Structure 1
Amino acid sequence: MDPPQLLNLLARSLAHDTSRPWAMRLCEACVDVLKAQGGAFTVSIGPDERVAVSTPGAFEELEPLQEVLGEGPVHQAMAEDRLVVTHLGAVVDEYPVFSQIVAPAQGGATLYAAPMRAGGRVVGVFSLYVTTDPQARGSQDLQLLADIVGASLLGNAERLDWSGRAWLHRAAGMVIAQLGIRPDDALAVIRAKAFSRSMSLRSVVVDVLERRLTFSRDE
């Protein structure tokens, strides 16, 4: 499909609902255009710093899970600047922990992780979750849409929800004060705690901020 046609479909899908946050509507419109069952945008806002927007449903926890683990198709697509296709029912050598956790629950789905490019660089990843076979739209349409979205997100960064990222940095600051470690290490401690407790990253951050969870060198 050529870019004008794809943009026309995207605009028509976006016009259906104007009441919810713009980034969420854009993500759902992309999923609708590509006839998929779920999707997410992961946008890089700095070294090892990302903010994600996911469509609600069965796949919405997979983006936060990859952030907690520090591995997965999103990381690979962003690092290698290429489309990564992963069948979620199989254990993958590149990200064994992520694929092993996801396989039992999402074995019938395929994840397409396409780098979103703007200004000659990768600014994020568009994840598309597909349970039907074959994919309704080709990988060329997916990559084209990912690049369109990348440019749009980069130009409208102020319209993304940054609150979760702000909470994470506040929690990291508290862990730094408790343990006397570097910021990168504090983030790693928070992610490790989320993984060890099988909790979402947001849940652990809230526990740290509300002082239900503290850290000491004696642990």
Structure 2
Amino acid sequence: MISDGMAEVLRLLRLGEVGDPARACARALGAEGVALSLLLGAERTAEPLWYHPDLSARFEELQFTLGEGPGPDAVSTGSPVLEPDLERVRPERWPALLPAARDLGVHGVCCFPLGVGAIRVGVLTLLCDGERRLSRQQYTDAAALTATLTGALLNGDRRDGGGGGGEGGDGNGPELGTALEPPSALSRAVVHQATGMVSAQLDVSIQEALLRLRAHAYGSERPLGEIAADVVARRLRFNDDFDDDFDDDVSGPYSPDGGKG
């Protein structure tokens, strides 16, 4: 049975009366932080929807940049990934993420995929204090929250006046109003654009292009979004030379077509 605190949060979410859903969920779950990301685009990129506190957002960005961690694993397997104490995780499991998470001050993470069967629509991430395991009550509350969010997303709920279920809904599912509205300006949009440009520059698949972007971000110790912005601004161009994966003109924008495009 879910706790009274989570029951109240779910009630307020359905009424659209939660001003800061991430903070409310973190409080009800007793978590150090909470983040909800939706899977958008052809690459099913995790787009952050809401989070609390800022550390949750930084950890989500870290997972996105490295392409590894409990979030990607939860999405891949369709099962919760519970690691409330990252110090106990084998180093080879997430070799890049674990030391970076430690430097960030993240001690434990539990991720719950949003979806049904092979369908994935998002992931809910909880930050833990690293000193205790996730309690049975916390797991029950997190599972209830995940089920509610999944149902609302699959029902297409947007509170658009279309009978309570939105496009594809039957009017009987949960209504979460603007709590699940994708942001008007997607923070990953520049990454999608840069991935396409690198794919064209190297004549490789979108998946490989994203891997090359991530490798460069990891090697330069910069967020993937910054690397993508440099590619889009033509300050950074990838080539197919194995020994020199990229050309980086730090003095200003670099236009490989002579400024004609």
TM-score by length of 1: 0.80
- The CA distance in 1 between the partners of 2:144 and 2:58, in whole Å, is 25
When residues 2 and 101 of structure 1 are mapped into structure 2, their CA distance, relative to the original with a 3 A threshold, is closer
When residues 122 and 7 of structure 1 are mapped into structure 2, their CA distance, relative to the original with a 3 A threshold, is farther
The structure with the largest alpha-carbon Rg is: 2
- Who is 1:59 aligned against? 56
Q: 2:75 aligns with which of 50, 75, 78?
A: 78
- The CA distance in 2 between the partners of 1:29 and 1:114, in whole Å, is 17
- Who is 1:45 aligned against? 40
- Who is 2:207 aligned against? 184
- Who is 2:163 aligned against? none
Instruction: Tell whether 2:223 aligns with 1:200.
Output: yes
Secondary structure (helix, strand or coil) at the match of 1:215 reads: strand
When residues 97 and 210 of structure 1 are mapped into structure 2, their CA distance, relative to the original with a 3 A threshold, is same
- The CA distance in 2 between the partners of 1:5 and 1:35, in whole Å, is 10
Q: 2:23·2:53 contact (CA, 8 Å) conserved in 1?
A: no
- The CA distance in 1 between the partners of 2:229 and 2:126, in whole Å, is 28
CA drift of 1:128 comes to 0.4
Q: 1:3·1:144 contact (CA, 8 Å) conserved in 2?
A: no
- The CA distance in 1 between the partners of 2:157 and 2:230, in whole Å, is 31
* Paired residues, number: 211
In structure 2, list runs of 5 or more residues that go unmatched: 159-179, 245-261
- The CA distance in 2 between the partners of 1:91 and 1:100, in whole Å, is 11
- Who is 2:192 aligned against? 169
CA drift of 1:10 comes to 3.4
**Which range moved further: 158-167 or 57-66?**
158-167
CA displacement 1:57-103 (0-9 Å, x = unmatched): 22322222222222211122222222222112344342222113223
- The CA distance in 2 between the partners of 1:122 and 1:181, in whole Å, is 26
When residues 147 and 46 of structure 1 are mapped into structure 2, their CA distance, relative to the original with a 3 A threshold, is farther
Question: Identity rate of aligned residues, in percent?
Answer: 27
The alignment's C-alpha RMSD in Å is 2.9
Runs of 4+ with deviation above 6 angstroms: none
Q: 1:28·1:55 contact (CA, 8 Å) conserved in 2?
A: yes
- The CA distance in 2 between the partners of 1:55 and 1:118, in whole Å, is 26
CA drift of 1:134 comes to 6.0
CA displacement 1:7-55 (0-9 Å, x = unmatched): 43234476352xxxxxxx3333322321222111232336642233233
Q: 2:47·2:188 contact (CA, 8 Å) conserved in 1?
A: no
Q: 1:42·1:124 contact (CA, 8 Å) conserved in 2?
A: yes
- Letter of the 2:181 partner, please give it: R
- The CA distance in 1 between the partners of 2:86 and 2:4, in whole Å, is 32
When residues 120 and 4 of structure 1 are mapped into structure 2, their CA distance, relative to the original with a 3 A threshold, is farther
Instruction: Tell whether 2:86 aligns with 1:88.
Output: yes
- Letter of the 2:94 partner, please give it: Y
- The CA distance in 1 between the partners of 2:181 and 2:212, in whole Å, is 30
Q: 2:9·2:25 contact (CA, 8 Å) conserved in 1?
A: no
When residues 193 and 38 of structure 1 are mapped into structure 2, their CA distance, relative to the original with a 3 A threshold, is same
- The CA distance in 2 between the partners of 1:30 and 1:84, in whole Å, is 19
- The CA distance in 1 between the partners of 2:53 and 2:232, in whole Å, is 25
CA drift of 1:172 comes to 1.5
TM-score by length of 2: 0.69
CA drift of 1:3 comes to 8.4
Secondary structure (helix, strand or coil) at the match of 2:234 reads: coil
CA drift of 1:104 comes to 4.0
